[in-house]
Chain A
Amino acid sequence: MLTADRVIALALIGLSGYFMLHASALPIGWHGESGGPGGGAFPFWLSAIMALCAGGILIRSFWQDETFVPFFDPETIRAVISVTAALFLTIGLIPYAGAYVAIVLFLLWYLKVFGGHGWVLTGALTVGTPLFLFFFFEVALKILLPKGWTEPLFLPLYAIFF
């Protein structure tokens, strides 16, 4: 637990430094251009405060006793990692295979493989969800979802519904 606390504090300090680096591209002082702080002042000094506080947490952690509660539960962390990986893969697939293919694959994996549900439920949801998305978002709200390679298949549908 303490190790995780320290790692996160260090990561936050790193993040603050990164923000400060980018923020200093604009004036960070008072009276930057015309009265008041410059454009980079807010992000720069707020990041600085963030770094200081994270430093405080880091230093404080050396005074604390190790609690021996592991940060990650080894039993469940695998589930969390696999869902995260599936989520990132799905988003990565969207620009190429389109939202409809990516989401159907994601649901298939999640319900059948990860959730261990039967084919009836899996089938119903993998068919129902894209249908709902198409009619709710595209037909009703006129918000187009990315299609990628599947775009030509949707042209006849557009001709019918728009």
Chain B
Amino acid sequence: MEILSLLSDGFAASLSPFNLMIVLIGVTAGLFIGAMPGLGSVNGVAIVLPLTFVVPPSTAIILLAAIYYGAMYGGAVSSVLLGIPGASTAVATTFDGRPMAQQGKAGLALIAAAVASFVGGTISVVLFALFAVPLADLALAFGPAEEFALVLLAFTTFVGLGGDDILKTIIMICLGLVLSTVGLDLISGQPRLIFGDLPGFYSGISFLVLAIGVYGVGEVLHTIESSKSAPLVTPAKLTFRELGAGLREMNRLWKTMSFGSFLGFFVGMLPAAGATPASLMAYGLAKTTSKSPETFGKGNIEGVAAPETANNAASTGSLLPMLTLGIPGSPTTALLLGGMVMWGLMPGPMLFIEQPDFVWGLISSLYTANFAAVAINLALIPLFVWALRMPFTVLCALVLVLCIVGGFAPSQKLHDVWLIAGFGVAGYLLRKASYPLAPLVLALVLGPLMESSFRQTLIAEQGNVLAFFERPLSATFMGFAILFFLLPHLKRVRWRARKSGVAPAE
């Protein structure tokens, strides 16, 4: 019961008029930062962090929580409206969010994203409040072998799903994985694939650069080419009736959303994995278990709701290893960790025992921020949708400027902007030749984790490849990975077998 009183103290603090104002400012700022391609919660938190030493700690926590949630909601906005994922966690949202926008259902997609984010945030905060301490031990049980198995699982929920040309899909996966190895070989500490010692490649190719390139610049070029026949997006109108219909439609998605929340929270909790694999797995799972998987990727609202619940739940989950183990799972949580050290807090197993008022204050701030974020987001949707009604020559020009500036901002290297332009042209050509781009981007996101965990395991196990199947947790994941890889093929075989009775196979 002590927890309840601590929690209510936290709520009382976060609901004071001054703190409510802070929440509103923080969420709105976070929303716009997250909606900007290239910028995400890490930028927002980095800017606000030094400010937090001037205000009282309880206000500081609330401000940070508000920015963090605001940016998570905002990431979906850029995915849906521009088709450019603002952060790697929002890649999966583009798969169906973008087609929905093209069909004039941008408003509905944004509502789905906001509601799904809210559900994910709420369920995960409850899980966090109830199970944070015991779950920390589960996170510790995750070694390199388990990480590899998990990433493989995230991968296989995707591969084999696409109806694209199989050779072209393999090429794109390999290309993405090769690009992910550029930079430094973690194991030997040697630079690799730096193409004649170009210093810009030392830090590797960031996901954002590739995503802004192929989805931003590539998409604009594609639009310019096809603009004679079709506009960029069907202008969306959003009325209150549609808003109500949208909310009703979300009602049907309870199963997808609660599943996404649990999955997101547990995957996000694992230190190395985080929100990106979580959102991809939630999407893959929603598609595999759906009655009509063929509608995914063509504007299915479930394909927006699933990854959005998962990535919001995962961003709460990723606070868990940071608080209980002192291990940041993402750059954003790393910054938060630095901030806590400045406030004189010691993240780690003792935090929950020694500083309960901080922990429960944070949890109640997360609740408040989540409520504020969904309200502000829903209120701003008409504005976002209105932005899509600009003539496409204006929209394209602005998107290109955002690609340049947004590509420069995270690393502050012009090298990355050149890469974006290059990837944009390459992506445009590959897309015309019907090479699928999603596997390329996914491979780049998951590649580094996959390679390092694979090699760490093998070094630790003296090169024993069976190690992945000998540990119970990793063996379970490997089993699921194989199942997911085979499932679509089995389905197809069965479908063909049934069909071959009627008509000859194609």
Contact = CB atoms under 8 A, between A and B. Distances in A.
User: When A and B assemble into the complex, do they touch directly, with CB atoms less than 8 Å apart?
Assistant: yes
Interface of A: 4-5, 8, 12, 15, 19, 22-23, 25-26, 30-40, 42-43, 46-47, 49-50, 53-54, 56-57, 60, 71, 73, 75-77, 79-80, 83-84, 87-88, 90-91, 94-95, 99, 103, 106-107, 110-111, 114-117, 121, 125, 129, 133, 136-137, 140-146
Interface in B151-174: 167-168, 170-171, 174
For chain B, what secondary structure do more than half of its interface residues adopt (helix, strand, loop), or is it mixed? Answer: helix
Contacts of A73: 225
Contacts of A80: 221, 224-225, 428
A24 B131 CA distance: 48
A4 B433 contact: yes
B231 to A, nearest CB: 14
Given A42-B177, A80-B221, A114-B393, 10 more contacts: A8-B429, A38-B188, A39-B187, A76-B228, A91-B418, A116-B393, A117-B391, A133-B401, A136-B36, A143-B412
29 contacts: A4-B432, A8-B429, A12-B175, A19-B178, A23-B192, A23-B193, A34-B459, A36-B454, A38-B188, A39-B185, A39-B192, A40-B185, A43-B192, A49-B170, A50-B170, A50-B175, A77-B225, A79-B224, A80-B428, A84-B421, A103-B404, A103-B405, A107-B397, A136-B36, A141-B39, A141-B43, A142-B47, A143-B412, A146-B414
A35 B170 CA distance: 27
Interface of B: 29, 32-33, 36, 39, 43-44, 47, 167-168, 170-171, 174-175, 177-178, 181, 185, 187-188, 190, 192-195, 217, 220-221, 224-228, 391, 393-394, 396-398, 400-401, 404-405, 408-409, 412, 414, 417-418, 421, 424-425, 428-430, 432-433, 435, 451, 454-455, 457-463
Given A26-B192, A83-B221, A111-B393, A43 B178 contact: yes
Contacts of B174: 46-47, 49-50, 53
A8 B463 CA distance: 38
A91 B178 contact: no
Contacts of A116: 393
Nearest to B405: A133
B451 A42 contact: yes
Contacts of B460: 35
A22 B226 CA distance: 38
B418 A84 contact: no
A140 B47 contact: yes
A111 B394 contact: yes
A36 B220 CA distance: 43
B222 to A, nearest CB: 9
A121 B428 CA distance: 29
Contacts of A71: 432-433
B171 A84 contact: no
Contacts of B408: 99, 145-146
A114 B430 CA distance: 25
B166 to A, nearest CB: 9
Nearest to B443: A46
B417 A88 contact: no
A110 B393 contact: yes
